[in-house]
Amino acid sequence: MLGEAGFTVGILAGSGPLPGQVAAAAVAAGRQVFMIGFEGFAEARVLAPYPHAMVRLGAAGQILAQLRAHAVRDLVLIGPVRRPSMFDLRPDAEGVRIVARVGRAAFGGDDGLLAAVVRVLAEEGFNVVGAHEILTESLGPRGVLTKIGPDAQAQTDIDRGIAVARALGAVDVGQGCVVQMGIVLAVEAIEGTDAMLARARGLARPGPGGVMVKLVKPGQDRRADLPTIGPGTIAAAAAAGLRGIAFEAFGTMLTDRAATIADADAAGIFLCGVAITP
């Protein structure tokens, strides 16, 4: 939850349009924002309208100094960042200390790592806020959003995909999978959604197209790395020959809801929010 209005909202920005959408929503709510874009990931055009700095991912000392210099109290982590190796990260002195505080989570799954990073940021005095708490209208609702919905076979594939995605999430591997006629064509790991869809394209069987399922990992801290679907996801799903996408309702962000639904309708792909019980 956002804190006192007198403090600036800080945004640690990865790739894609969502960091800019969070900034716009915060400004519309009367808050000042300061963005830190991670070099090699954040897009300059997304950050350009707002006060910002581009910083190397491993330069933790510079990141913390910039946040404090701009009176940041609330902090949002948003936008994909490819997880680097320790060699590529090249942490500065503060970064080395933070890695030590993160501990073994630095070498585990993404959710465990992000939860540890959120904990360290809280220890540094920041109030970490989920992007969905600011972009409430971007959360995908329950039900079919498109002109077409899943038929019986697609629903069977969705049910199978939910079971597989929950099993993957429980061991902090990934958030999604692709299922076609009961066969799991691909599962998501460190490579991300687009790479999973590209792989599924070459594994498709003859017959009705498959379905992608994206879920929040069981027990995941929702302040970081919620599943995200946008027009690019629809294009990749269409290229993979899929006929539908099922996502966790109220746990998945649509980067541009109107365009995503319009593109899905144009491609003949259904979008369906599914309720997931704990």
Using one digit for the tens of pLDDT, what is the confidence trace for 52-91? 999 998 888 899 999 999 999 999 998 888 777 766 778 8
Domains and CATH numbers, the chain: 8-134 (3.40.50.20), 139-274 (3.40.140.80)
The DSSP 8-state label assigned to residue 243 in this structure reads -
What residues have CB less than 8 Å from 211, skipping those under 6 apart? Answer: 150, 154, 157, 158, 161, 178, 179, 180, 242, 243, 244, 245, 246
Q: What is the pLDDT of residue 268?
A: 98
- pTM comes to 0.86
Tell me how crowded residue 277 is: count the other CB atoms within 10 A of its CB: 3
Q: What is the pLDDT of residue 1?
A: 61
Q: What is the pLDDT of residue 99?
A: 79
Q: What is the pLDDT of residue 86?
A: 64
Given a contact cutoff of 8 angstroms between Cβ atoms, the answer to whether 21 and 135 are in contact is yes
Residues of the chain with pLDDT under 50: none
